């Protein structure tokens, strides 16, 4: 076979595999969303262990799908076709929906504002990466994060520190007090 023909085959197969991966990511997200937030204690951790990923990865997938469903339901499904089309665009990934979920919570955005951000992502045709979304959101809506946002972030970091096996007794005691205090504020 001629090298040019081989290259075309390689490119076609790479694109096919990449698109199949994106479909599989969304299928995984559907199932993660059915586990995360349920009342089965330790289910998220168990799923993460079985998948060989962190609990954050499982939660991120679940949150991305939850946001996708929410956006599909705005105005009784009026934007459902657009949201599906956006999800299938070659430059929009599951991580965009995960980032939008995080931004919605961080900036107290309405569902319609999140939909507007998704429209911005579509209009930028790949020029608005997940890394640029935070700055874009602040520019568009302002920084609406309050003390509760920062308390929740600090609480998450203190929780990680409490999991450290080499944390000494007195340090653990103080961190637990800080964790509880932050929990009251978040």
Q: Which of 124, 131, 54 lies closest to 89 in space, CA to CA?
A: 124
38 CB-contact burial (10 Å; exposed 0-12 / middle 13-18 / buried 19+): exposed
The per-residue pLDDT for range 126-156, each reduced to its tens digit, is: 888 889 999 899 888 877 666 777 777 787 8
Is residue 178's pLDDT more than 90? Answer: no
136: exposed, middle or buried (C-beta count within 10 Å: 0-12, 13-18, 19+)?
Answer: middle
Q: What is the pLDDT of residue 59?
A: 93
Average pLDDT, rounded, for the chain: 85
pLDDT band at residue 62 using 50, 70 and 90 as cut-offs: very high
Contact 58, 48 (CB under 8 A): yes
For residue 68, what pLDDT band results from cuts at 50, 70 and 90?
A: very high
Question: What three-state secondary structure class fits 125?
Answer: coil
Domain boundaries, the chain: 3-145, 148-185
Residue 5, CA atoms < 13 Å, CB-side half-sphere: 2
Position 114 pLDDT exceeds 80: yes
Kindly report the pTM of this predicted structure.
0.70
Note the pLDDT of residue 151: 77
Give the pLDDT confidence of 83-98 residue by residue, as tens digits. 999 999 988 999 999 9
**CA gap 107, 10 in Å, rounded:** 43
Determine the average pLDDT of the residues in 34-53.
Answer: 83
């Amino acid at each position: 076979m001629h090298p040019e023909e081989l290259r075309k085959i390689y490119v076609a197969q790479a694109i096919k595999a990449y698109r199949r991966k994106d479909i599989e990511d969304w299928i995984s997200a559907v199932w993660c969303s059915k586990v995360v937030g349920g009342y089965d204690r330790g289910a998220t951790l168990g799923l993460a262990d079985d998948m060989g990923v962190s609990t954050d990865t499982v939660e991120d997938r679940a949150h991305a799908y939850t946001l996708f469903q929410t956006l599909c339901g705005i105005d009784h499904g009026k934007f459902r076709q657009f949201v599906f089309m956006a999800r299938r665009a070659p430059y929009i990934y599951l991580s965009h929906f995960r980032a939008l979920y995080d931004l919605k919570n961080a900036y107290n955005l309405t569902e319609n504002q999140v939909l507007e951000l998704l429209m911005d992502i579509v209009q930028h045709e790949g020029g608005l990466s997940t890394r640029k979304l935070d700055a874009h959101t602040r520019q568009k809506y302002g920084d609406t994060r309050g003390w509760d946002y920062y308390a929740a972030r600090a609480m998450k970091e203190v929780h990680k520190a409490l999991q450290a096996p080499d944390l000494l007794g007195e340090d653990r005691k103080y961190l637990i007090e800080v964790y509880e205090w932050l929990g009251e504020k978040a």
